[in-house]
Structure 1
Amino acid sequence: MTSELFRILVINPLVEGTRIAVYENEECLYDKMIPLLNEQYDLETLQQLKDRKKDITDTIQTVGFNIAHFDAVCGRGGLLRPIEGGTYQINQQMIDDLNNQINGDHVSNLGALLADEIAQDWNLQAYIVDPVVVDEMFDIARKTGVPSIERKSIFHALNQKSVARSLARQLQANYEDLCLIIAHIGGGVTVGAHQYGQVIDVNNGFDGDGPLSFERAGSIPNKSLIDLCFESGLSKGAIQDKIIYQSGLKSYLGIERKADLDWLWHTSPEKVEEVFDILGFQIAKEIGKMSTVLSGNVNAIALTGDLAAYPYLNEKIIQQVSWIADTYVFPGENVMLALAQGTLRVLNGKETIKHYDKGRNGKNGS
């Protein structure tokens, strides 16, 4: 007896365009990047909605898919209110919060908006899966030395949870029965302590907490950062740009894109190795911190993200953390498959759908 087949349209809005994919269960039938036109770049994020939607539907129909025969549409989740991990049905509260940019403006906010409009046009179900605002942190993990400032949970939730489930399958166990440390290494670096299906602590790589990354500075000594703010003559926006987008490997190596790093690795590997030594040291230290959050009860460690494709960097990290637990490597970030898998778990009844609302203290999901 064969299991039921579900056809899912997956949408991942990016700055340079919209990536779409069609899945039949976990098999990818079609995958395409639809680039933005020059005139579309000049529009504000939410103003791009109409054009992106038309580009998606035209492309899908042109290659011969009948959207009416799809079972669901899944968009990448955006900057919503803090929510628990899982697959969420898109509802009006979610649409309102994204349109009002409740937690900020980001291109990922278009994911749910696009999925909702296409689903409504074709009478389909619309979902998001594990957006960056997934918040399952212990309350004590939020605290800082300044009572009015608390740490936030903003991290690569989709990839971390997807890799955690893949690792659990490899270990022939359930994600909900394991304690894992997952390190996402890319444009940003986030290291999460996964305890029985929840990420109870994680560094906020977007805001600069934790290790340096490809383009982010990571944690900086407080006094030095204060001096930079008041003595550099830079505006608030310029400092944010420097710390979030123009630091890390980019500033050490004088590069701009991942392709530049690949080229430099092949032409001058010794230069890259010096910086990878720094990056690997800081990531290993963050993994060590998360092992204490789990009280040393760590079943396995996983390294994932674009920079996990470099064996030299992985080896540097593993050398320092091998005493904690075995380390597994999952290079890249399989966003489209992770979105399809999250949707499929709901469609085939393996996971209960969650519903987005304002919730108590902003956290929600039931």
Structure 2
Amino acid sequence: MSTDVARLHQQLVNSLEQTGTLRTEPWRRAVESVPRHEFLRGGFFRRVPNAFPVAWQPVLEDSADWIRGCYTDESLVTQIANTIVPTDIRGDILREPTSSSTLPSLVVRMLEELRLEPGMTVLEIGTGTGYSTALLCARLGEGFVTSVEYDAEVAARAETALARVGMYPKLVTGDGLIGFAKGAPYDRVIATCGVRSVPREWIEQTRPGGEILTTVGGWLGASELTRLTVHDDGTASGPLLGGRASFMLARPQLPPPLGLLPDLSAGEEREAVIGAEALDDWTSRFVVQCAVPGGRRLAMERDGRQEDLLIDSDSGSSAALYQEAGRWTVRQHGPRALWDTAEDQLGRWNAAGAPEPARFTLRVTPEGQSYSW
């Protein structure tokens, strides 16, 4: 490792320690031993400033910005539109990111929250670039780490990068939402992708008393980190940890195409007790998302006014909200009164003092998952 790279690496380690993210000596040694740039060979994409619509520009290894970027505390996009990598293009691209190297502070925070001890086995969902996999190997030893990646090309690049730093954990290409039963039971499961609901397979493949660390979120875009303890009866429960952790959703849980919008003139109108601004705040949006897990938000101009539209992909129901003379009106259509459900959930949350997510508890049973606060 060159002097400049070593200096940048050490600066990142020191920064993570100073901010309180890197808290324990075993993880400090792991972060110091794993060079992040080895997992970003081939470059990354950086968002083009002030571009609308959002555009991305490749930063390649021959750029002076590449090595500095590798050791900044930011997420770096490594794949766009499921197939495009930085070396594929010149200029800007306007498609959606599909894989990234998560900002080191979030990676390290999650690893610290995993409460690992020597000898524990870990199942990682989402190998990605392989950087977090390498940190797990540095902490536990490669024989205790199994990692599953959905995308075969991403998995191949991660395997190459891990081999480059001399690490050979068990790598599996497949749907991480079903885990990897052949290696079960695991002491810990950690997911580096977001999920709408915690898969039963993760619980079944974790020993009783073991823990699952994942982000839970949905199509409204608010997500939180949770640590669940698996119980003897096949259920799991635990707190949300706060801090607004955000990952790309697991690909099988991404929303389906919208298709045709419902008839926006249909439905019954009433005065709304709570307006659409509840969907602007992260925590209240998360609360709505708990009540309407299939909800998606759209904004549109209709009849000369702005309307906020909440569509439930699960039931086909919709709720349109608009404001006139300082008063909100909602028009609901379909088998489920979406905004009634959202207002009921928000009302109970407000009555409890609008607690922060760190006071929430998630419980997962064979019947589904539920939140309390």
TM over 0.5: same fold? no
Which has a greater percent of helix? Answer: 1
Q: Which has the higher contact order (CA 8 A, sep 6+)?
A: 1
Q: For the superposition of Structure 1 and Structure 2, which TM-score range results when normalised by the shorter chain? A: under 0.3
Larger Rg: 2
Which has a greater percent of strand? Answer: 2
TM-score of the aligned structures, taking structure 2 as reference length? 0.26
